[in-house]
Amino acid sequence: MRKTFQFRIYPGRKQEVVLNRTLSTCRHLYNDSLAERKRQAELNKLRKQFDIFPWGKPEWINKYDQMLDLTASKTPYQKEVFSQVLQDAIKRVDKSFKNFFNGFGYPRFQGRDRYNSFTYPQSGFELKDGKLILSKIGTIKIILHREIEGIIKTCTIKRDIDHWYVSFSCEIDNPVLVEIKTKTGIDVGLIDLITLSNGEQIEPPKFLRKSEDNLIHKQKRLSRKKKGSEKRSKQRIIVAKVHRRIRNQRKDFAHKTSRMLVDNYDLIKFEDLQIKNMVQNHHLAKSISDAGWYQLMNFTEYKAAYAGKFVEFVNPAGTSQTCICGFHVPKKLSERIHRCPSCGLVMGRDHVSAILIENRPSCTVGTTGINDRQGLSIESRCSGTPKPFRVG
Ligand SMILES: [Zn+2]
């Protein structure tokens, strides 16, 4: 199985210029390859409708055609980039079309702020004497704060505003599966709170709220700045940095919580949020907190996988409206206490939900894991489609 290790790297000024240029070259190639594929797709649609093509029938272009074209005619900029890195940009276009055919959004052109990583898929990189050596770029300082396990397969360089990171995707041995002795069910609340089936509750740290308030404040200032002005672009960077801090704080919280869950339980059950959201109507605040929950579930899932432990997803239907005895106990959202007229149970509503989740069998549809359902595997999280980061 694959495991990812991420480290911060510290390029020099000149190296940063080269890194940025590499990103830009890859992004242009990505957009050009995408444009070509889109044009092909449109021609094919016309062919289906009219079937008149005096210049011959259009055919599908695949990533291999595009890679061959690339090798045949490289621009001066492209010649400065390691060829497998360029090929990987074409592969990303291919992957985004595959995701589209699996029910995800139509591939989009990537702006400067969105396209923020490139990958060495096989070779062209080396770790030596605490330095990272990248072909066509140079030797970069790296802080290896933890040991890398397994065999390094790919190397991805990422930009996060003014910080740079490298992540290695490594092939590690599959762990021995544990015998399930302990299990828990987890209710994720509307408020930023998770409840375990033993009644324990975990709240995100207070500073997170504080940063989020700070973000709203900074965002307001941004919206007052004149469009296209220098002050506005400065404020955009300030806002982006607050975003980054929040992202990192959330991530840190998700890492700690998932670590605690996996250390303490052999089987962890969550509600299937996707089924849940199909039923409920969607608010913005809800979708933001969902993003946090997905991250927590994601982290828990892969940490469990590395430890030979298990994560399951259950159908959430009725978990907030049923008693442990099976009696139907309807409650409004504002009612935080569950009172069962049948068996007399009085308990926090989230606690009851968590117990129900623990005891519910995992659903048969779409339980292969959130990774699959989001069209992203652990592997592609580091090497795949660039994560959007948006400002303003
Ligand atoms: Zn009851």
Can you give 306-348 as a three-state secondary structure string?
A: HHCCEEEEECCCCCCCECCCCCECCCCCCCCEEECCCCCCEEE
Highest mean pLDDT among 37-51, 167-181, 202-216, 275-289: 167-181
Q: What is residue 123's three-state secondary structure?
A: coil
How many angstroms does the Cα of residue 25 sit away from the middle of ligand 1?
63
Please tell me the distance from the alpha carbon of residue 222 to that of residue 217, in angstroms, as a whole number.
9
How many angstroms does the Cα of residue 363 sit away from the middle of ligand 1?
24
How many angstroms does the Cα of residue 349 sit away from the middle of ligand 1?
12
How many angstroms does the Cα of residue 357 sit away from the middle of ligand 1?
16
Confidence band for 354, pLDDT divided at 50, 70 and 90: very high
How many angstroms does the Cα of residue 342 sit away from the middle of ligand 1?
5
| Percent of residues, the chain, with pLDDT higher than 70 | 85
Residue 381 reports pLDDT greater than 70: no
Q: Write down the pLDDT at residue 204.
A: 76
Q: Write down the pLDDT at residue 200.
A: 93
Q: Write down the pLDDT at residue 75.
A: 93
* Segment 74-85, tens digit of pLDDT: 999 999 999 999
- Give the H/E segment covering residue 371: helix 370-373
Lowest mean pLDDT among 57-61, 87-91, 146-150, 208-212: 57-61
Lowest mean pLDDT among 33-42, 216-225, 266-275, 284-293: 284-293
How many angstroms does the Cα of residue 326 sit away from the middle of ligand 1?
6
Q: In what order do the strands lie in the sheet with 131-134?
A: 117-120, 151-160, 163-171, 2-10, 138-142, 131-134, 125-128
Please tell me the distance from the alpha carbon of residue 72 to that of residue 385, in angstroms, as a whole number.
25
Q: What is the dihedral of CA 195, 197, 200, 202, to 10 degrees?
A: -30
Q: Write down the pLDDT at residue 267.
A: 96
| Percent of residues, the chain, with pLDDT higher than 90 | 53
How many angstroms does the Cα of residue 338 sit away from the middle of ligand 1?
9
Residue 366 reports pLDDT greater than 60: no
Residue 347 reports pLDDT greater than 80: yes
Close Cβ partners of 211 (under 8 Å, ≥ 6 residues apart): 242, 245, 246, 249
Residue 286 reports pLDDT greater than 80: no
Confidence band for 377, pLDDT divided at 50, 70 and 90: very low
Please tell me the distance from the alpha carbon of residue 174 to that of residue 305, in angstroms, as a whole number.
9
* Segment 134-145, tens digit of pLDDT: 999 999 999 999
How many angstroms does the Cα of residue 346 sit away from the middle of ligand 1?
9
Q: Write down the pLDDT at residue 288.
A: 59
Please tell me the distance from the alpha carbon of residue 95 to that of residue 4, in angstroms, as a whole number.
19
How many angstroms does the Cα of residue 14 sit away from the middle of ligand 1?
68
How many angstroms does the Cα of residue 344 sit away from the middle of ligand 1?
6
Closest C-alpha to 373, from 298, 321, 282, 280: 298
Residue 177 reports pLDDT greater than 90: yes
More confident residue, 130 or 267: 267
More confident residue, 121 or 278: 121
Q: Write down the pLDDT at residue 192.
A: 65
How many angstroms does the Cα of residue 271 sit away from the middle of ligand 1?
21
Q: Residue 311 — φ and ψ, nearest 5°? A: -125, 135
Closest C-alpha to 199, from 189, 184, 211: 184
How many angstroms does the Cα of residue 321 sit away from the middle of ligand 1?
11
How many angstroms does the Cα of residue 320 sit away from the middle of ligand 1?
13
Confidence band for 198, pLDDT divided at 50, 70 and 90: very high
How many angstroms does the Cα of residue 299 sit away from the middle of ligand 1?
34
How many angstroms does the Cα of residue 362 sit away from the middle of ligand 1?
22
How many angstroms does the Cα of residue 343 sit away from the middle of ligand 1?
4
How many angstroms does the Cα of residue 191 sit away from the middle of ligand 1?
25
How many angstroms does the Cα of residue 340 sit away from the middle of ligand 1?
5
More confident residue, 343 or 332: 343
Q: Write down the pLDDT at residue 289.
A: 64
Q: Write down the pLDDT at residue 278.
A: 54
* Segment 199-229, tens digit of pLDDT: 999 887 777 777 778 888 888 888 888 888 8
How many angstroms does the Cα of residue 353 sit away from the middle of ligand 1?
12
Q: Which long-range contacts (CB under 8 A, 24 or more apart) does 36-44 make?
A: 36/61, 36/66, 37/61, 37/93, 37/97, 37/107, 38/107
More confident residue, 46 or 230: 230
Q: What is the dihedral of CA 305, 307, 308, 314, to 10 degrees?
A: -50
Please tell me the distance from the alpha carbon of residue 259 to that of residue 272, in angstroms, as a whole number.
20
How many angstroms does the Cα of residue 39 sit away from the middle of ligand 1?
61
**82-108 b/e (C-beta count within 10 Å ≥ 16 → b):** bbbbbbbbbbbbbbbbebeeeeeeebe
**Distance, CA of 192 to chain centre:** 19
How many angstroms does the Cα of residue 265 sit away from the middle of ligand 1?
27
More confident residue, 31 or 54: 31
Positive/negative CA dihedral, 120, 123, 128, 134: negative
Please tell me the distance from the alpha carbon of residue 65 to that of residue 57, in angstroms, as a whole number.
17
How many angstroms does the Cα of residue 329 sit away from the middle of ligand 1?
8
Q: Residue 195 — φ and ψ, nearest 5°? A: -120, 130
Please tell me the distance from the alpha carbon of residue 366 to that of residue 272, in angstroms, as a whole number.
9
How many angstroms does the Cα of residue 319 sit away from the middle of ligand 1?
13
Highest mean pLDDT among 211-215, 231-235, 284-288: 231-235
Average pLDDT over residues 121-129: 93
For residue 379, which amino acid is it?
E
How many angstroms does the Cα of residue 180 sit away from the middle of ligand 1?
28
Q: Write down the pLDDT at residue 374.
A: 38
* pTM assigned to the model: 0.75
* Segment 237-283, tens digit of pLDDT: 888 888 888 888 888 989 999 999 999 999 999 988 776 665 555 55
For residue 86, which amino acid is it?
L
How many angstroms does the Cα of residue 336 sit away from the middle of ligand 1?
16
Is the Cβ–Cβ distance between 164 and 158 less than 8 Å? yes
